[in-house]
Chain A
Amino acid sequence: MALYEKSASQLSAMLKNKEISSVELTKSVFERISQVEDKVEAYITLDEENALAKAAEVDKKRAEGAELSPLAGIPIGIKDNISTKGLRTTCASRMLENYVPPFDASVMTKLRAHDIVVTGKLNMDEFAMGSSTENSYFKKTKNPFDLTRIPGGSSGGSAAAVAACEAVMTLGSDTGGSIRQPASYCGVVGLKPTYGAVSRYGLVAFASSLDQIGPLGKTVEDVAMLQTAICGHDKMDATSAYREYPDLAALLNSDVKGLRIGIPDEYFGEGIEDGVKAAVIEAVKELEKQGAVVKHISLPSTDYALSSYYIISSAEASSNLARFDGVKYGFRAEEYDGLVDMYEKTRSQGFGDEVKRRIMLGTFVLSSGFYDAYYKKAKLLQRRISAEFAEAFREVDVIAAPTVPTPAFKIGENTDDPLKMYATDVCTVTVNIAGLPAISVPCMNKAGELPVGLQLIGDKFAEDKLLGAAYAYEKAVGGFRLPNL
């Protein structure tokens, strides 16, 4: 097995035992990138030179006997909406095509302290708005399991890179499913942490009350390792939770005896493909076989979640993206007549169609005379959805549902119909609305099949329970499958 195929936890042990060096590992990953990147197109920016320099630095530290993090020397790719000091951060937008952040996002400061090797910046839907990565200004990332299909989005590059072994792990961000949905389509594990668990400082804002950075990896253990490294209070993010976090990888426990799993009937209704339903139910049965207790529960407001999500997220986006005016940083139109014309031309040429739609929807729902009918109602519904989840978590420990209604669709299939694209988020948005953690772990993953994920949703800050249940399932059915590229 090539080094790039191995999981982070395997590689971490090999590095620690000096069976391999970080330079060897990093070279193996870049060798893989040179073989498959033309087909997959997961990256916007590669940073091989600095990656190799960092790997050499870590090897030197290790040779000198320094006490290193389990992540030290592991090549990790970063979604291109997370600020990386000195490394171009585009958000897959023409608006930020040449933007080089003068600072690191807090997650990057943390990961650099763990001595990770940054491979580069990963493709995504422009400003994280989309479900297929087709909204990138730069390129269309392909699903490594079928190059004619989308990898999901918005963290499509992050999921495809892990599946294609173009990075050992990656960071993504999840506002309405943007980590879990592509993880599901690409057959990898993706965790959307509890709102407030991971600092948003340096994450280019889309919908600030819903955005959360999270890890993607080949295995549950890898995701637990990376999550442990990035979580924690940060004074630079006013919504960051004040609490201490355990070492999730060390806590990982596959004993699910007595674990109460809730099945919300609302997530298995119309629009969810039969094969997906069957795979999720099969996965729950596997956990039941291991001693988990299954209960049917009801989350009655699920039907309204998509409306509530698109109102809240677009309202926040319209405000957040007002900063892109061609003055302080980013793109500016070449020709204009006066200040207002400069704003309008800059924004019209700098943003793609989906971003414009979201900005206009947000502007509309916040505009005079419409606020009460849309935004206020959506916020009230958010409370109701949160309350329904809180009620459910009195009865169960985790909730099992599909991550997505169908396997990955064809490139171009939904681009002309925004509503069809939005509908792919139907199983994931509730989690962001309620600020909960959720994981997607492959459950339809046999050779010849397109991958689909089992989504496990937990109560606030119950990442340990999610990871435990996902770990138990992964151990029983087998983990990562290498796509045939």
Chain B
Amino acid sequence: MNIDIKHIAKLARLEIPEDELEMFGTQMENIVKMVEKLPDISDELKPDPATPMKLRPDVAESGKFTRQELMKNAPSVKAGCLVVPKTVEQ
């Protein structure tokens, strides 16, 4: 199968340099060839009754972290806000 690496990379928000396109392309084709080895099964995919999941109440908990603690790892912070490039044109 021919895989459009540029398209896949774009969907994944990755930039693959021109000189690496061939390497990634060949590797991806080989990997896809390997994972294609699947038997024909056409059952319906239903939730597994053996592993039920109980959901906990969705309650906001406050006081666990300060805003400062949570923003400590952010690459760019100004006036208590995360800074990102401008996204809306004036």
Contact = CB atoms under 8 A, between A and B. Distances in A.
Interface in B6-45: 8-9, 11-16, 24, 27-28, 30-32, 34-39, 41, 43, 45
A342 to B, nearest CB: 6
A339 B35 contact: no
B75 A361 contact: no
Interface residues of A, number: 63
A6 to B, nearest CB: 38
Given A100-B73, A238-B55, A344-B14, 18 more contacts: A98-B73, A196-B51, A239-B51, A301-B39, A303-B37, A307-B37, A329-B73, A331-B75, A332-B75, A332-B76, A338-B87, A344-B13, A345-B15, A360-B12, A360-B14, A381-B38, A419-B30, A419-B31
A363 B14 CA distance: 11
Closest 3 CB pairs of A and B: A329-B73, A332-B75, A348-B15
A103 B70 CA distance: 10
Contacts of B86: 338-339
Interface of A: 98-100, 102-103, 196, 235, 238-239, 242, 301, 303-304, 306-308, 310-311, 318, 322, 325-332, 336, 338-340, 342-345, 347-348, 351, 353, 356-357, 359-361, 363-365, 367, 374, 376-381, 383-384, 386, 418-419, 422, 435
Contact of B27 (A301, A306, A342, A418): A418
B72 interface: yes
Contact of B85 (A336, A361, A386): A336
B78 interface: no
A100 B73 CA distance: 7
24 contacts: A98-B73, A100-B73, A102-B70, A327-B82, A328-B82, A329-B73, A330-B73, A331-B75, A339-B84, A342-B84, A344-B13, A344-B14, A344-B15, A348-B16, A357-B24, A360-B8, A364-B8, A367-B11, A376-B45, A377-B41, A379-B45, A383-B43, A418-B31, A435-B51
The majority secondary structure among interface residues of chain B is loop
Contacts of B28: 357, 360-361, 364
B8 A363 contact: yes
A386 B55 CA distance: 24
Interface residues of B, number: 46
Count chain A CB atoms within 10 A of each CB in B13, B56, B74 and give the residue with the most: B13
Contacts, number: 140
Contacts of A422: 31, 34
A383 B38 CA distance: 13
A88 B46 CA distance: 40
Contact of A310 (B11, B31, B48, B85): B31
Contact of A347 (B14, B37, B70, B75): B14
Given A307-B38, A418-B31, A340 B82 contact: no
